[in-house]
Every structure is written in structure tokens, then in C-alpha cells.
Amino acid sequence: MPDSRPEKLKSEIRRSLANSALRSAVARATATTLAKRAAHVAAEPRWEAMRAAAARIKRETVAHLDRYLAQFEAAATAAGIRVHWARDAAEACHHVRALAAAHGVTEVVKSKSMVTEEIGLNAHLERHGIEVVETDLGEFIVQLAGEPPSHLTAPALHKRREDIGRLFAEKLGVAFTDDPVALTALVRERLRGRFLRAGLGITGANFALAREGALVVVENEGNALLTMNLPKRHVVVLGMERLLPSIDELPLFLDLLVVSATGQAFPGYVSVLRGPTPPDRPGPDEVHVVVVDNGRSRMLARPEYRELLHCIRCGACLNVCPVYRQIGGHAYGWVVPGPIGAALIPLVLGLERGRDLPFASTLCGACADICPVKIDLPGHLLRLRGDIAAAGLTGVAERLVVRSWAFAARHPRIYRALTALPRLLGRLPVRAWTATRDMPRPARRSFRRLWDEEERRP
């Protein structure tokens, strides 16, 4: 299992690059999703208008988050949902554990949720003797392997079918098969009893609707449907930025999320939850929502980075990122990988811990072009690079080079003299650079010289 810490980025990159199986699994999976997405986008003439509208809506919601949160709380409470507030991961975990403890629950079922990964909920519950069963197939696989998910929407994207077959044979004591149908059937059979026994179901929510006080859960497998409806109690752990003003915005956001995430027109199941089930019907008689801050209000306080809270966790920027496609998700060392992770990690965990992440980008702009809510990811990565440099967290050599260049740029004579340098580069010690790249051949005449000649021409 990789050592999941952002400080280890450089060694994890080397490790990932040496793993050709990982690279081909990630490349194949991301290419499949991108192709399906592209087909839907090509058939939707309003796509750009939809992205622009979604960006506007998220900006408005986040800019008035206090009022939307209050509105959500009031409407959810009126519908019988119990709303809890958590300043940080510890408080959020405590709420869920207290709920389980209050009902003597020792077994919970859970469907995929990035915020529960972020707060370390599984480990917390298990430390307190509560068994957590991940029910999404991909999450079940990575839980069994003792790994974190490597993608926002496809947690086991880095694993090949034979790896999964071997994992099941070893951990579940079943005969080896690498047939996805047989492997899926096995998980279905194993988990059905768990859904029926569990005293508590835990999910995240893709959206929370402020006006209605409703929660929206999107999935394909039906595991979230069972998690929410079979146990007697349901807890939703909600990142507090996940609000939309109302159900009126839901069609737009569902379209953008699902096409961007999986290249589908509509997900298999969408549940719009509006409180507990009446006592005469099967279903949860208690629904709780734990609204989690955990650093979000800090990010909100920095207008230049606030836009990062617009993210709807579709994973499209991961799929399209040339860096993610080479190194996979684990190398980033935090729950959210890819370009959005590279921007979030230094802000959430601190510049020092995340100082290498913003540099793990070619700034090609593909992430900004694909993002359904138009987050300017390259802009944020650039700004973070500036913050990291200003905090003196870049390497000595890099600082020296940049300062020398800045000096030369302010002194034209020196600058001109230095333009002759490329012809000498072959003799300079740049082997570390040229080991994996071609050094471009310098032009025989510099741009300045060409320009001067052009100027002199009659």
C-alpha cells in the first residue's frame, strides 16, 4: 500500500511511474470515461451555457453560504431530519459514533462518500468497535485491500481484474476468478445480509437543496439505495459547500455531474430525501445530517481560492490530467487527487505539507476546459506556486535560478549576453533534465536579432 502523505509526492511519483500495470489501468479507465463524456457533450449544444450557468449558481450559493445553510437547516428540521454541526473531522466522527452508540449499533453499512474519507470516519468507528462495511463495489475492493480510493468516482480504477481476483481469493477465501461478472455477483451475495443486519446506514450526499431541506444521493449500483432504506437509521455526512439553492437547479447539476463523471445521460439511481419514513412503512425512522466544516470556512475566507468550494467532485479533471493519468491517485497522498487535489491539499493541510502538489501540473489547461463548474484550476495552481515561493518553501536552487533570471531581465545587456548561453547548454550539467526529455535545439539566430534585422529592412 502506498504511503499516503502529500510530502512523499516525489518518491510516490517515481514509484507510480515504475508501475506499468497501474499506468495502463489508469490510462484505459480514464480514456473510456472521457470518450463517453465527449459523445454526450458533442450532442448537447447548450453544454457551454450549462457550465456558465452552473458556475454562476455555485458562485452565488457559496457567496451566501451562511444564509443557504440556515435555510437548509430550517427546512430539513421541519421535515424531521436532525441536523448536527461539526467544526472539524473529530467532531464529525464523534456525531456519527455517538449515534451508533446510542442505539447499540456495532455494524454499519456505508456507501461511497469523499467527505467520510476526508474525516477518517471508518478508522474512527472501527477504533470504537463498530464494523464498517463499504458497499460500493470499488470501495469494497479498496477497503479489502487496505487502500484509500484512487479516484473520486471510481475508487478501484488503478486495479486490474486479475489483481481483484487475487485479492478476493486471498482475503475472502474464494476460488480465483478474474471475471468481473462473477466478482460482482460475489460481492452482491456477501453484502446483502449486511444491509439487512446493519443498524445504521451512512452515506454522503452529492447535493443538499437549501429551500427544500432535501438531500440528493446519486449512484449506479443501488447500494446507496439499500444503505439509505434498509437500516433503521440513516446518517448523511455532508460537506457544507454541497448546497444548491433549490430543486430548480437539480436538473442542470445532475446533467453536468453525471455526464462529466461517468459519461452517462442519467445515473442509475437518484434519491431525493426529505426526512424519515412514516412509522407504518419500512425505511429509516431517523435521518440525521452531519454538516462538516473541516477547513471549508477557512477557504471561504480567502476570496482568491473560494472558487475551489464550487467543486462537485465529478472527477473529470482527474481523467483529463496528463499527470494524474501517469501517476494515479495515491501519489497525491490525500483523499482528493488530481488537479483539484493539487489545489486543495496545500490549502487544507497547509502550504508546507502540500508544497510540491501545485507543481505537479503541466498547466496545460485541460482541467479548466473540462470542469463542469468552470473552476480555473491552472490559475489556482499558479497562484499557489506564488504563495509557496513567497513563503520561502521552494528549493534553494530554484530560488537562485528565478532570482538570477529576474536580475537579468532587468538588465538588458546581461540578458543579451545570456541569450548566447543555449549554444553552450550541451556542455552544461543538465543530464537530469535530458534523461527523460529532449533538449530543444537552440535557434541559430535569436528573436532579438531577427527583430533588429526586420526593423532595419527598408
Partner 1 sequence: MNEARAAIFDAVRRALADTASTECSADADGPDLAGAALQPATDGVRPAAGGMAHFRAVLEELGAGFAEALSAEAAADWIAGALAAAGVKRLAVVGAPGGPALVARLGAAGIGLEPLDGLAPDACRRCLEEVPAVLTAADFALERTGTLVFTPATLPFRGAAGLPPWHIAVLPHARVVADLAALFASHPEVTRQPLLFVSGPSRTADIEKTLVLGAHGPARLDVVVVGGAA
Site for ligand SF4, rule CB under 6 A: 152, 260, 311-317, 340, 370-373, 375
Which residue in the set 106, 229, 326, 419 belongs to the binding site for partner 1 (CB under 8 A)?
229
Which does residue 184 bind out of partner 1, ligand SF4, none, counting CB within 5 to 8 angstroms by kind?
partner 1
Which does residue 18 bind out of partner 1, ligand SF4, none, counting CB within 5 to 8 angstroms by kind?
none
d(CA 115, CA 89): 9
* Residue from 136, 417, 103 nearest 233 by CA: 103
Which residue in the set 248, 352, 452, 453 belongs to the binding site for partner 1 (CB under 8 A)?
248
Which does residue 316 bind out of partner 1, ligand SF4, none, counting CB within 5 to 8 angstroms by kind?
ligand SF4
Binding residues for partner 1 restricted to 395-424, rule: CB under 8 A:
none
Instruction: Report the 10 Å Cβ neighbour count for 436.
Output: 7
Which residue in the set 91, 107, 131, 369 belongs to the binding site for partner 1 (CB under 8 A)?
91
339 binds partner 1 (CB under 8 A): no
Which does residue 373 bind out of partner 1, ligand SF4, none, counting CB within 5 to 8 angstroms by kind?
ligand SF4
The answer to whether 211 and 223 are in contact (CB under 8 A) is: no
Q: What is the largest CA-CA distance in the chain?
A: 94
Phi/psi for 219 (5° steps) reads -165, 175
* Residue from 38, 313, 347 nearest 155 by CA: 313
- Give min distance, CB of 195 to partner 1, in A: 8
Q: What is the DSSP letter of 129?
A: T
164 binds partner 1 (CB under 8 A): yes
The C-alpha cell at 147 is 487502500
Side-chain-side CA neighbours of 216 within 13 Å: the count stands at 24
Which does residue 127 bind out of partner 1, ligand SF4, none, counting CB within 5 to 8 angstroms by kind?
none
d(CA 348, CA 411): 40
- Give min distance, CB of 424 to partner 1, in A: 50
d(CA 54, CA 60): 10
Which does residue 241 bind out of partner 1, ligand SF4, none, counting CB within 5 to 8 angstroms by kind?
none
- Give min distance, CB of 224 to partner 1, in A: 9
- Give min distance, CB of 79 to partner 1, in A: 9
Binding residues for partner 1 restricted to 317-336, rule: CB under 8 A:
none
373 binds partner 1 (CB under 8 A): no
23 binds partner 1 (CB under 8 A): no
Residue number, 231 or 341, with CB nearest to ligand SF4 = 341
Binding residues for partner 1 restricted to 68-87, rule: CB under 8 A:
68-71, 84-87
Burial of 364 (0-12, 13-18, 19+ CB in 10 A): middle
- Give min distance, CB of 261 to ligand SF4, in A: 8
188 binds partner 1 (CB under 8 A): yes
- Measure Cα distances from 49 to 34, 55, 172, 215, 258 in Å: 20, 10, 49, 26, 17
Residue number, 291 or 308, with CB nearest to partner 1 = 291
Q: 201 Cβ partners below 8 Å, 6+ apart?
A: 108, 109, 110, 111, 226, 227, 228, 229, 230, 231, 233, 234, 235, 284
